[in-house]
A and B are shown apart, each in its own frame.
Chain A
């Protein structure tokens, strides 16, 4: 503890900071003691409330996370002692066995090391017995400490709907005894894939918001990056964990150049590459470099594609042949029409827009991407490049019916009007 009491504003900032950084750690450690997510959440909430008061009087502790964990766990134990009958039926089963290690051990007031339990928590949140949307909501709520209102706003769902979703998921965890455990080696690949998919979904929802005034929801992007770093610290040996973190870093490094001063969308070809976040680029490239020594999965391959763009001095000088080859490898790993569409964009640079358009038309005919806004947008761009302006304009119109994002709408409208004028 620091010797003297801190300024109230400083304390508030310290609590807010601890909320942002430590919520998942504190909650995960408390679930182990409380045996139920609901009780743990209550106790952690209380601990943050107590922190505001105690830290004002006694100063901000050296390790806020440890203080909060000790306080929350004590509260949980108090409640459990009072409700002995409940204790016989612990809804969440914490199993010994795989103990996740962290780089920096956190030590509580009594000098005991507090184990980082966040891996258990993330695997519980992303359990296959829960629907994907519930997995996402629980992860944001329990590991990032987002409120139900914040999650509802991020995913454009009415708050009562999101509240019901979270409540139902928590009830199922307790009633069906979804374990609080890192899966064993045989289940791990599938289970880890679900965790990474959830993180990636949070990231992409933030990176290209489906609706709203801003193209990027920086709050969601930051949360996804935070979680990616936590996973990387705890499971850095898993290539796909490294791949996903690299992918998110390299993609996000372009954030400031994706819209111009007026908030208008700037395509990859026209972005000012000098303004890409170099720290993020370097961190991402280092992670991709490590991947060459291991079997690369779908996130690693996407990161490798992002890395090709990151190292290329300009759009024209991009090694498009390599990009197409990486998309081919990605398609083998992860057959998906969205990947085929992205491959077509790269193919246009190697084989020309006409060849790419044939690919896009094949994708349009096959129907799996019906309603996907980037399909008509890509088609429109290829038609524009081929000088087929009337067809381009109608494809832009089609894309416009599919997006509510203001930045994207402005871009598509501008392109459509250009095509009509020519």
Chain B
């Protein structure tokens, strides 16, 4: 098994404009997704939703600035860390991940040879 990070990107303004019913549905979709990971043969290692980029603070060296590292229309809004057999399985899982206002990026976790 290998670990993959599923990064959820989306338009923050679209998220901000949603109503309660939509948010409830989205929450349910995420709950269902964690079950679907196992159904696909993978394993959820962890995951979180992030507060919007308006709350982000960037630090480069000693300089602290208000805002995200890179300003983009579709910002990182959450992630899942999963365990999968290979990229095909990870992509099959990623296709099920709710991302109503954008999409997801799949990144393999770097592994280091054990001593």
Contact = CB atoms under 8 A, between A and B. Distances in A.
A binds B: yes
Interface of A: 85-86, 88-89, 93, 127, 129, 175-179, 181, 183, 187
Interface in B21-68: none
B45 to A, nearest CB: 16
Contacts of A175: 108, 110
Given A177-B86, A183-B88, A187-B88, 7 more contacts: A85-B113, A86-B113, A175-B110, A177-B90, A178-B87, A179-B86, A179-B87
B72 interface: no
B114 A177 contact: no
B91 interface: yes
A93 B91 contact: no
B31 to A, nearest CB: 26
A178 B110 CA distance: 14
A85 B114 contact: yes
Contacts, number: 35
Chain B interface bracket (under 10, 10 to 19, 20 to 34, 35 or more): 10 to 19
Contacts of A177: 2, 85-87, 90, 108
A263 to B, nearest CB: 47
B88 A179 contact: yes
Nearest to B85: A93
A93 B87 CA distance: 10
B18 interface: no
Contacts of A187: 88
B113 A89 contact: yes
Nearest to B112: A89
B87 A176 contact: yes
Interface string B4-34: 1000000000000000000000000000000
A89 B106 CA distance: 20
Most buried by B among A86, A177, A178: A177
Interface in B80-115: 85-88, 90-91, 106, 108, 110-111, 113-114
Given A93-B85, A177-B108, A88 B2 contact: no
B91 to A, nearest CB: 7
24 contacts: A85-B113, A85-B114, A88-B113, A88-B114, A89-B113, A93-B85, A93-B86, A127-B87, A129-B87, A129-B91, A176-B4, A176-B87, A176-B106, A177-B2, A177-B85, A177-B86, A177-B108, A178-B86, A178-B87, A179-B85, A179-B88, A181-B86, A181-B88, A183-B88
